[in-house]
Amino acid sequence: MKELLIATKNKGKAEEFKVFFERYGIIAKSLLDLQEDLPDIEETGETFEENAALKSEGIAKILNIPVLADDSGLVIDALGGKPGIYSARYAGEPKDDKKNIEKVLRELGDLPVEKRTARFVCVLSLSIPGNSTIYKKGTCEGVIGFEEKGIHGFGYDPIFIPEGYNQTLAELGPDEKNKISHRANAIKQLEEWIQNQQ
Ligand SMILES: O=P(O)(O)OP(=O)(O)OP(=O)(O)OC[C@H]1O[C@@H](n2cnc3c(O)ncnc32)[C@H](O)[C@@H]1O
Ligand SMILES: [Mg+2]
């Protein structure tokens, strides 16, 4: 069975990647699985693509192996696209999912549902030493709820209601989330790209 390293320290993402790649017979390892603690990569880019590349190229250079990175976030129309690339640390350091959710709910206040439109975005970058980095993007449309609901997933899942559903991703749980998520859509495109290479 082949292995692929995912340049993430986010437990929630790492878990989702393990499930996705199992289907292709690939073991997805994250930075949390490595013995050595690699340096934290500063996400100083201005786009999801730039930040993803900083992570995948940075780690691929250190270890000289193929590395996949995921830069993702929640884009809320009524907030002019925020938190966007700043999703992980929207309420400041250290990163805190609960505080981030509270900040978003506070900022949206009692704005009606038709004005609470948002999308999750996931940009994957695959860096193979000696090759140029390739990018695949996936999105998931939805609305921001009025309160936190559900126990599954991570990040903003308890307040994100995907289009066509009336429950949050945190209520729907991993099986349903992994069918429709931004990450699932990006991985589908990566799969097509990988198949076209063979
Ligand atoms: O950089 P790595 O180590 O991968 O971990 P991170 O959590 O810092 O990841 P990002 O820089 O890509 O920031 C993404 C943030 O967007 C949010 N997010 C991304 N995907 C999500 C998902 O599937 N469900 C809920 N929130 C998500 C969540 O708050 C993440 O912390
Ligand atoms: Mg990050």
Edge-first strand order for the sheet with 26-30 is 26-30, 2-6, 67-76, 117-127, 134-144, 160-162
Residues, the chain: 198
Helix ranges (H only) for 32-141 are 48-63, 97-108
| C-alpha–C-alpha distance, residues 91 and 97, integer Å | 9
Ligand 1 centroid to Cα of residue 11, in Å, is 10
Q: Are 104 and 88 in contact (CB under 8 A)?
A: no
Active-site residues, by number, are 71
Cβ of 154 closer than 6 Å to ligand 1, yes or no, is yes
Contact at 8 Å (CB) between 189 and 170?
no
Residue in 9, 3, 12 with CA at minimum distance from that of residue 173? 12
* Ligand 1 site, residue 13, Cβ cutoff 6 A: yes
Q: Binding site annotation covers 154? A: yes
pLDDT value, residue 1: 60
Ligand 1 center to 198 CA (angstroms): 31
- The predicted pLDDT at position 198 comes to 54
92 is in an annotated binding site: no
Range(s) of the domain holding residue 21: 2-197
Atom of ligand 1 nearest to the CA of 10: 5
Whether residue 119 has its Cβ less than 6 Å from ligand 1: no
pLDDT at 75: 99
Domain CATH for 100: 3.90.950.10
Which atom in ligand 1 lies closest to the alpha carbon of residue 157?
25
Q: What is the pLDDT of residue 60?
A: 97
Instruction: Kindly state if the Cβ of 9 falls inside 6 Å of ligand 1.
Output: yes
Number of domains in the chain: 1
- Averaged over successive runs of 10 residues, the pLDDT of the chain (198 residues) comes to 92 97 93 92 97 98 97 98 98 97 98 98 97 97 98 98 98 98 96 74
pTM of the model: 0.97
Which residue owns the Cα nearest ligand 1 atom 27? 155
CB within 5 A of ion ligand 2: which residues? 88
Query: What is the ipTM for the molecules in this complex?
Result: 0.99
